[in-house]
């Protein structure tokens, strides 16, 4: 087992894990006299706890005018997107990460979806918004928001994963928290127009083979998309989880490219050019390619390979008590559905099948659980997902044999968490 210390300068902000553990330990001895035995002891103020009547039961609560737009409880203030300061030079061209260890089920709340911007989050007035289609079409067209909303629309749940998710882990275990190692993924229900309908409206010429969607942000983000994908399941989305897209996610409209790497999901989309060959633009030549050991680069690696991660326990979410505990995590595949997830407690010697719960949808996050008894021994936790094509999530060593160590993108290797006797959890690798 080896752990590579964080080599880059700066610090990662994380909750005080030791403080959590202390609070848990102290509460162990603080069971109120005469209390009815429970499964676990409570922390906090005993005056508010059974058999007493809590403070909040004695007076009227907030009126319905207090929160015109509802916000999470103030006790959940630590559940936020976080960035890694040393990762990028500024915050406009930057990344923050989804707090996966605080979430459950398969849907990411809108305010917690990770953000990746190449030129900051553009502020677009929907009244001025237009989507232009030009190039190899019968009639070049410009659509307003109102135009887009008059097409038949569909609702689909998809994950979006940045190609660079887990990219800092290629050479060894580095970041302490699944928020940072795996938090460049989110999964929401999109409402929008199948791209096919919009392209049909403009009329594709017979030599139309590629699209170049382009963003309205300062970065003017663009990528070449093959026509087969565009006509298959791409969408122009304007809603996420039922409400308008958040500005950070491309308000008022973004491209949805199910199962494919996040950089193709152009936000604030302003134009789609139709062509007969790919453009070989910056984001598909200098970026988002994988340089192999032999000097060749993998290109157009669009589909996100099957991957999984244990979100709890994990470095930001230590094990608090011995006895009955729950391992929970997420699995996904850009090629279809998650068929099975295996979990090991001993670094891969013994594998057991996890329990999948909730919807199992193609190209969406899938939730798994594994209930177990913890006797206080050290554990080496891993999860391994298998998708509907039969593809098995590889180990990080297998990935390095296949692709070398020059890569940043497309690291879908098996993650290991070392649970120590104290309950604290560390990012490690086993070999």
Minimum distance, C-beta of residue 157 to ligand MTE, in the bound complex (Å)? 15
Any contact of residue 265 with ligand MTE (CB under 6 A)? yes
**Closest separation in Å from C-beta 346 to ligand MTE:** 34
**In the complex with ligand MTE, which residue's Cβ is closer, 16 or 89?**
89
Does 418 contact ligand MTE by CB under 6 A? no
Selection from ligand MTE, Mo ion, none that 221 binds (CB < 5 to 8 A by kind) is: ligand MTE
Write down the least CB distance from residue 262 to ligand MTE, Å: 3
Determine if 260 is a binding residue for ligand MTE (CB under 6 A): no
| Contact flag: residue 116 with ligand MTE (CB under 6 A) | yes
**332 interacts with ligand MTE by CB under 6 A:** no
Which member of 108, 224, 263, 325 binds Mo ion (CB under 5 A)? 263
Q: What is the 3-state secondary structure (H, E, C) of the chain?
A: CECCCCCCCCCCCCCCHHHHHHHHHHHHCCCCCCCCCCCCCCCCCHHHCCCCCCHHHCCCCCCCCCCCCCCCCHHHCCCCCECCCCCCCCCCCEEEECCHHHCCCCCCCHHHCCEEECCCCCCCCCCCCEEEEEECECCCEEEEHHHHCCCCCEEEEEEEECCCCCHHHCCCCCCCCHHHHHCCEEEEEEEEEEHHHHHHHHCECCCCCEEEEEECCCCCCECCEEHHHHHHCCEEEEEECCEECCHHHCCCCEEECCCECHHHCCCCEEEEEEECCCCCCHHHCCCCCEECCCCCEECCCCECCCEEEEEECECCECCCCCEEEEEEEEEECCCCCEEEEEEECECCCCCEECEEECCCCCCCCEEEEEEEEECCCCEEEEEEEEECCCCECCCHHHHHHHHCCCCCCCCCCCCEEEECCCCCEEEEECC
Which of 82, 116, 254, 384 binds Mo ion (CB under 5 A)? It is 116
**Does position 84 bind ligand MTE by CB under 6 A?**
no
- Select from 17, 81, 82, 118 the one that contacts ligand MTE (CB under 6 A): 118
Least Å from the CB of residue 263 to Mo ion: 4
Residues 163-222 that bind ligand MTE (CB under 6 A): 186, 215, 217, 219, 221
Which C-beta is closer to ligand MTE: that of 105 or that of 119?
119
CB of 307 to ligand MTE, least distance (A): 15
- Among 160, 162, 317, 331, the residue binding Mo ion under the rule CB under 5 A is 162
Residue nearest to ligand MTE (CB): 215
Q: Output 263 or 407, the one with its CB closest to ligand MTE.
A: 263
Q: Please give the residue ranges that form the binding site for Mo ion (CB under 5 A).
A: 116, 162, 262-263
Q: Please give the residue ranges that form the binding site for ligand MTE (CB under 6 A).
A: 113-118, 160, 162, 186, 215, 217, 219, 221, 248-249, 262-263, 265-268
């Amino acid at each position: 087992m080896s752990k590579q210390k964080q080599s880059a300068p700066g610090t990662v902000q994380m909750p005080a894990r030791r403080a959590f553990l202390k609070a848990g330990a102290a509460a162990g001895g603080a069971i109120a006299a005469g209390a009815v035995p429970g499964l676990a002891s409570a922390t906090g103020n005993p005056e508010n706890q059974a058999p007493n009547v809590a403070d909040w039961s004695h007076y009227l609560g907030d009126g319905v005018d207090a929160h015109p737009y509802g916000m999470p409880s103030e006790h959940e203030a630590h559940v936020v997107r976080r960035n890694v300061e040393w990762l990028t030079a500024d915050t406009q061209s930057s990344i923050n990460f989804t707090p996966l260890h605080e979430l459950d089920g398969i849907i990411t709340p809108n305010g917690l979806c990770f953000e990746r911007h190449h030129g900051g989050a553009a502020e677009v007035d929907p009244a001025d918004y237009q989507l232009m289609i030009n190039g190899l079409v019968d009639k070049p067209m410009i659509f307003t928001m109102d135009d887009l909303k008059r097409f038949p629309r569909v609702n689909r749940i998809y994950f979006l994963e940045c190609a660079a998710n887990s990219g800092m882990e290629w050479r060894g275990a580095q970041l302490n928290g699944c928020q940072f190692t795996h938090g460049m993924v989110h999964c929401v229900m999109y409402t929008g127009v199948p791209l096919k309908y919009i392209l049909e409206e403009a009329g594709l010429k017979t030599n139309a083979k590629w699209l170049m969607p382009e963003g309205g942000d300062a970065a003017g983000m663009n990528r070449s998309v093959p026509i087969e994908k565009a006509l298959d399941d791409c969408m122009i989305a304007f809603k996420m989880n039922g409400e308008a897209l958040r500005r950070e996610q491309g308000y008022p409209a973004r491209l949805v490219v199910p199962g494919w790497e996040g950089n193709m999901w152009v936000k604030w989309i302003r134009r789609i050019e139709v062509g007969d060959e790919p453009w070989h633009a910056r984001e598909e030549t200098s970026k988002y390619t994988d340089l192999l050991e032999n000097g060749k680069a993998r290109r157009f690696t669009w589909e996100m390979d099957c991957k999984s991660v244990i979100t709890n326990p994990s470095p930001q979410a230590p094990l608090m008590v011995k006895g009955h505990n729950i391992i929970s995590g997420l699995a996904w595949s850009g090629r279809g559905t998650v068929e099975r997830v295996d979990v090991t407690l001993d670094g891969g010697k013994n594998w057991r099948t996890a329990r999948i719960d909730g919807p199992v949808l193609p190209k969406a996050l899938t939730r798994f659980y594994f209930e177990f008894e913890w006797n206080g021994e050290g554990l080496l936790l891993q999860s391994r997902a298998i998708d509907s094509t039969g593809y098995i999530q590889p180990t990080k060593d297998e990935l390095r044999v296949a692709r070398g160590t020059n890569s940043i993108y497309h690291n879908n290797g098996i993650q290991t968490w070392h649970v120590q006797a104290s309950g604290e959890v560390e990012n490690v690798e086993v070999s």
